[in-house]
Amino acid sequence: MLTLFRNAHIYSPSDLGKKDLLTGGKTILAIADRIDPPAGMEVTIIECEGKPLIPGLIDSHVHITGGGGEGGPASRMPELQLSMMLEGGVTTVIGCLGTDGITRTVESVLMKVKTLRSQGVSAWMYTGAYQVPPPSITGDIAKDIALFEEIIGVGEVAISDHRSSVPSLTELTRITAHARVAGMIGGKAGIINIHMGDAKDPFRPLHDVVAHSEMGYRQFLPTHCNRNHYIFEDAKEYGKKGYVDITTSSYPYDPDEEIKPSIALKQLLEAGVPAENITFTSDGCGSLPLFDKEGRLVKIDMGLPSSILREIKEAIFDEKIPPMTALKVATSNPARILKLAGKGEIREGLDADLVLLDPAFNILHVMAMGKILV
């Protein structure tokens, strides 16, 4: 089956203007000013009338088997459903464990990755969890990365947080080095997804690893960098050296503390952080807990993948960030940082993961691996 998107305004995420785009199988076959359907072949034609066509979004921090549990068994979040991805235009997820690497397992995350792939979307995962030493399938995070095609790195390892294992400099450096070497051997990113907590000077453990080893800043992908004002101020400087990830689901649950993601993107750019160093993730199906000063759980909410497109849309329409810049944070940037082959761009030969939007950036169609799912 061939599908022809006629007269779409393509953001690849670069602005390609109005073009026709032809897909076949799982692949983007052609992009041109005019494409005539091949004679004698069945072609589905979607008349786009100049509407935006963007790459399928990549959500690279999702608790696909459910997260949470900080408030006891009743506070465990449900696992990710395919519909949660599609309603947000997300066609690729990276699964991870979080706080609960104790009763939830890396093996269950791997099986959920396989489930999502069988449902027609793309999925990878991190081995490990908050805890140090990190849980793994083989007993060795490096073997997990090197041997399992689905595993691209380690995460989310918690630092600067009362729920972390308070890893020492030696422990954090060793995890980083093992992941890096395993990534080289397995052809993966070998990156460490870092959970950033509420402690003051939260990036200090990462600065110390870089200062006392041969590891570089780009070996880390620290997330939740908009969780409070002081971590966000530090992120403006850290982001000039390494990557910073903004959690989109966190807003508006605690607006007095958190920086709204669309505004965070604008302020990071204004501070001189390269657009290529910024990513958005949802923390989907993860818990969004609020603790009081004594460390008691006050309330808990759940993240959703649809929050990414919401914040991208508001970055474009409210903060006046060009679409080609705003879209990078959940398309080409995570694809490049995490070495996701075929993802993150609209280009001939890449995977046919596409989202057709109306002029207000609401979803009309979602195509994943060449099949229309919405």
> What local confidence, expressed as pLDDT, does residue 291 receive?
67
Can you tell me the distance from the alpha carbon of 297 to that of 304, in angstroms, rounded to the nearest whole number?
21
> What local confidence, expressed as pLDDT, does residue 319 receive?
98
All residues at 6 or more sequence positions from 289 whose CB lies less than 8 Å from its CB, including other chains: 68, 70, 71, 297, 299, 300
Structure tokens at 357: 């939007």
Structure tokens at 198: 């509420």
DSSP-assigned beta bridge partners for residue 38: none
292 is catalytic: no
All residues at 6 or more sequence positions from 214 whose CB lies less than 8 Å from its CB, including other chains: none
Strand 52-55 with 354-357, pairing: antiparallel
Can you tell me the distance from the alpha carbon of 222 to that of 202, in angstroms, rounded to the nearest whole number?
10
CATH 3.30.70.100 matches 2-54+345-372 = no
Residue range 248-302, pLDDT digits in tens: 997 777 777 899 999 999 999 999 999 999 999 999 998 776 666 777 767 677 8
Can you tell me the distance from the alpha carbon of 55 to that of 172, in angstroms, rounded to the nearest whole number?
35
Strand 354-357 with 363-368, pairing: antiparallel
Count the Cβ atoms, other than its own, within 10 Å of residue 170.
11
341 in Cβ contact with 334 (< 8 Å): no
The H-or-E segment that residue 126 falls in is strand 122-127
Can you tell me the distance from the alpha carbon of 155 to that of 199, in angstroms, rounded to the nearest whole number?
19
The H-or-E segment that residue 269 falls in is helix 261-270
Q: Is 290 helix (H, G, I), strand (E, B) or coil?
A: strand
Domain 57-337: which CATH class?
Answer: alpha beta
Residues lower than pLDDT 50 in the chain: none
Q: Is 270 helix (H, G, I), strand (E, B) or coil?
A: helix
Can you tell me the distance from the alpha carbon of 245 to that of 59, in angstroms, rounded to the nearest whole number?
11
Can you tell me the distance from the alpha carbon of 351 to that of 172, in angstroms, rounded to the nearest whole number?
35
The H-or-E segment that residue 5 falls in is strand 2-11
Domain ranges of the chain: 2-54+345-372, 57-337
211 in Cβ contact with 205 (< 8 Å): no
Can you tell me the distance from the alpha carbon of 244 to that of 364, in angstroms, rounded to the nearest whole number?
30
**What is the reported pTM?**
0.94
With both helix axes pointing from N to C terminus, report the angle between 169-186 and 204-211 in degrees, rounded to the nearest 10. 70
The H-or-E segment that residue 20 falls in is strand 15-24
Can you tell me the distance from the alpha carbon of 265 to that of 262, in angstroms, rounded to the nearest whole number?
5
DSSP-assigned beta bridge partners for residue 193: 155, 221
Structure tokens at 299: 């309330």
Can you tell me the distance from the alpha carbon of 288 to that of 303, in angstroms, rounded to the nearest whole number?
7
40 in Cβ contact with 32 (< 8 Å): no
Q: Which of 283, 292, 301, 358 is catalytic?
A: 283
15 in Cβ contact with 328 (< 8 Å): no
> What local confidence, expressed as pLDDT, does residue 14 receive?
97
